[in-house]
Structure 1
Amino acid sequence: MSNRDEFPEDTKRKVALRANHQCSFHGCPQPTSGPSDESPEAVNMIGKAAHIHAAAPGPGARRYLASMSREERTHINNAIWLCATHADLIDRDEVTYTADMLRAMKSDHEAKCAERQRNALSTGEAVPDLVAIGPNIVFIGEFLGVEAEVWSFHLRNFVDGDVHTLIALAERYERTKAIERYVLVNELGDGRRLRDKPSITRETTGGYMVRCPVFPSADRIRASDLPKSWALSGSDDLVVQGGNWAITSGLEALPQQMKTCLSHQRGESPFHQDFGTRFAEYYNLLVGSPWFARYLKLEVIRQAAIPYTDLTNDQQHTPLRCVKRVYGVEVLASTPTNNWLPIRVDLDVNGVGRWRNNLSVYIPSEPIIAITL
């Protein structure tokens, strides 16, 4: 058994995403992934998540730091995305390529990726965005259109999962939980439940075509019809009025309902293990990256567009109830304050129209332990 502290696959995907699938070495123009001609599902990958501090001691172990824990060696902070040539180069010369130099190189490359993205958005240039199919597949792509209740996409790069993961989803589609059958599209600010298994084909011009049969849009209630709930103060304490617990509902309850829903982490509910967001998971992997807000937007779309069955009353509805479209999600601080992370949401709310609001979402310090009954 190897004694190397290797990166988890999820960490490898995230460090590649933060580098925009390009080598982080100064001046290297090398893209690190693309389609292969060997088969319709083959991918030509020449990039790797290289260790800044070596994964294990021994001959050839560059910049190995004995004081690091296994968790620190396998954390994304110890990874830099490089093409195969430059990954080999830094592992042959630790005198030139010190840990501080590599961290600066990584930071500089990610900052340039963020700047290119911001410039493209400010000039209206089309920017490929994230598309999710179920909880385990995310890719960078463009929405191509709708025909006969089928959404079509051009797939550029996988972020989570790969072609084989998508094929596996199609093969086990009938055994997949209903709540995991969905497609989310950042470009549209919307999502749909899958009506049938997705398909993928190789395009002659390169890349892949993904087709997703979908159901019509889920029903939403008007914001004025939001049900009654206990009113909470700014510090999330119950509000007392006239000696009784205060109640809020309708449009007045909208900000509180948004904050409460988006702060609930997946796995917290004993009644529905799949209810809640993955905000904490994405914060731990992507904070500081230009992709962090885009992942959060995927999650807000899922809460807005994909229904779940509330087992306490056997009713089905979307978690956000009245949100029809998600225009944007902006992260307003680099770190949470007392576990609360400020964000700005830009939404289309049924019965209200365009609704922009600042709110804070809860990011737990420790991993969520699922509660079962």
Structure 2
Amino acid sequence: MSNRDEFSRSTKNAVALRANHHCSFRDCPQPTSGPSDESPEAVNMIGKAAHIHAAAPGPGARRYLASMTREERTHISNAIWLCATHADLIDRDEATYTAEVLREMKAEHEGKCAERQRNVLSVGQPNADLIAIGPDIVFVGKFLGVEGEVWSFHLQSFIDGDVHNLITFADRYEQTAVKDRFVLVNELGDGRALRAKPSVTRETTGCYTVRCLVFPSAERIPAADIPKMWALSDSHDLMTSNGKWAMVSGVDALPQQVKTCLSHQMGESPFHRDFGTRFAEYYNLLAGSPWLDRYLNLEIIRLAAIPYFNPTDNQQYTPLLCVERVFGIQILANTPTNNWLPIRVNLSVKGLGRWQHDLSVCIPSEPIQRWSFDELLAGPFIRG
């Protein structure tokens, strides 16, 4: 077994994405991925997530820092995206390429990537957006249109996963959990549950066309019908009124419904493992990147458009209940305050129309402790 503290796949994907799949070494113009002629699915990848401080001690371990924990060593802050040539170079010359120099290179390169993307958006040039198929496949693409119940897309480049993953998803579609059968489209601000496995066609240009047979739009309830719930204060605590717990419902409950839904971490509840958001996961990987709000936008679309089946009452509903379309999300602060991140959501709500609101979502600074049902029955809180 290796004693190296390696990066997770999601961390590798995130650091590549933040670098726009280009080498972060100063003045290196090298893109780090491209098509291979070996097969329609093959990709040439010459980039790697290199460790700033080495993954393990020993001969040739550059910039190894014994005081670092495993979590620190495998964190994205210890990764820099480089082409193979420069990944080798920094591990041959520790005196020149110190940890401080590498961190400066990384910050400089990511800053240039962010600036280029902002400039494209500001002058109104066409800009493809993110599309997700299932929880693990995200690509840059454009919506081509609807024919009957089929949504079609032009796939430009993968962000998470690759063609092999997409084909595998299609091959194993029948074994895939129903909750993971979906397509989300930032360009539309909408998504659908998949009715059948997606099809993938390679065009003469070398790009791909993806077609998805989808179910009709999920039912939403009018905002006025949001059920009664406990009222929360601006400090996120339960409120009282006349000595009783305060309640809120209908349109008055809408901001709280959105806030609590976006703050509930995926897998946090032992009774509802499939319910929740990946906001904290994406924030911790992509904070400071121009891709962050686009990933969070996909997540809001999933909660707005893809039905969740509640096993306790055998009911099916979309977690955001009444949100019909997602126009966008804006992050209003550089970092969370006491684990709460202020955001502005721009939504279309059934019964209200266009609705914008400022609220805060919980971004835990530490991973959520996820107790199993058996652990709860055994009394883990008492043992703790």
Q: Would you say same fold, with TM above 0.5?
A: yes
Determine if the alignment matches structure 1 residue 159 to structure 2 residue 159. Answer: yes
Alignment match, 2:220: 220
TM-score (norm 1): 0.95
Between the two proteins, the alignment pairs up a number of residues equal to: 373
8 A Cα contact 1:228 1:248, kept in partner:
yes
Q: Deviations over 1:272-320 (max 9, x none)?
A: 2110101111122111221121111111111100011122322211010
Q: Greater CA deviation, 129-138 or 106-115? A: 129-138
Amino acid at match of 1:76: I
- 1:346-357 maps to which residues of 2 (within 5 A)? 346-357=346-357
Aligned to 2:327: 327
Q: Which residue in 1 is equivalent to 2:203?
A: 203
**Distance in 1, Cα, partners of 2:75 & 2:192:** 34
User: How far, CA to CA, are the matches of 1:266 and 1:87 in structure 2?
Assistant: 35
Q: What does residue 28 of structure 1 align with?
A: 28
Is 1:293 aligned to 2:293, yes or no?
yes
1:1-373 aligned at under 5 Å gives the runs: 1-373=1-373
* Matched residue SS, 1:187: coil
Q: Which residue of 1 aligns with 2:381?
A: none
CA distance in 1, matches of 2:11, 2:153: 25
> Residues of 2 paired with 1:195 and 1:371: CA distance?
33
- d(CA) in 2 for partners of 1:30 and 1:270? 46
CA 1:73–1:240 in 2, change beyond 3 Å: closer, same or farther?
closer
Alpha-carbon distance between aligned partners in 1 of 2:159 and 2:369, rounded to the nearest angstrom: 26
Contact 1:273–1:370 at 8 Å: present in 2 too? no
CA distance 1:203–1:30, shift in 2 (3 Å):
farther
Whichever residue aligns with residue 335 of structure 2, its letter is T
Deviations 1:156-211 (A, max 9, x none): 33222222222221122112111111011112111100010112222221232222
Structure 2 CA distance, aligned partners of 1:163 and 1:262?
30
**AA of the residue aligned to 2:56:** A
1:262 offset after TM fit, Å? 0.9
Partner Cα separation in structure 2 for residue 51 and residue 372 of structure 1: 34
CA deviation after TM superposition for structure 1 residue 41, in Å: 0.9
Shift of 1:63: 2.0
- Aligned partners of 1:94 and 1:363: how far apart in 2? 36
Q: Distance in 2 between matches of 1:315 and 1:3?
A: 47
- One-letter code aligned to 1:236: H
Letter paired with 1:306? I
Stretch moving more, 363-372 or 14-23: 363-372
Q: Which amino acid counterpart does residue 307 of structure 2 have in structure 1?
A: P
Separation in structure 2 between the aligned mates of residue 20 and residue 260 of structure 1, nearest angstrom: 33
Secondary structure of 1:192's aligned partner:
strand
Unaligned runs of 5+ in 1: none
Q: What is the distance in 2 between the residues matched to 1:243 and 1:64?
A: 59
DSSP 3-state at the match of 1:56: coil
The whole-number CA distance in structure 1 between the counterparts of 2:7 and 2:117 is: 27
Q: What RMSD, in angstroms, separates the aligned Cα atoms of the two structures? A: 1.6
- Measured after TM superposition, the shift of residue 10 of structure 1 is 1.6
SS of structure 1 residue aligned to 2:64:
coil
**Quick one: distance in 1 between partners of 2:101 and 2:207?**
35
Stretches of structure 2 that go unaligned for 5 or more consecutive residues are 374-384
CA distance in 2, matches of 1:294, 1:139: 12
Identity %: 74
SS of residue matched to 2:11: helix
TM-score (norm 2): 0.93
Distance between the aligned counterparts of 2:205 and 2:29, measured in 1? Answer: 22
Query: Do the aligned partners of residues 308 and 84 (structure 1) sit closer, same or farther apart at CA in structure 2, a change above 3 Å counting?
Result: same
Task: Tell me which moved more, 146-155 or 216-225.
Answer: 146-155
Aligned counterparts of 1:182 and 1:32: Cα–Cα separation in 2:
30
* 8 Å contact from structure 1 (residues 34, 207) kept in 2: no
Q: CA deviation at 1:48?
A: 0.9
Q: Distance in 2 between matches of 1:120 and 1:169?
A: 33
Larger deviation, residues 234-243 vs 280-289: 234-243
CA distance in 2, matches of 1:126, 1:205: 19
Q: Deviations over 1:313-362 (max 9, x none)?
A: 22211010111111111111122111111111111111111111110001
* Equivalent position amino acid for 2:341 in 1: L
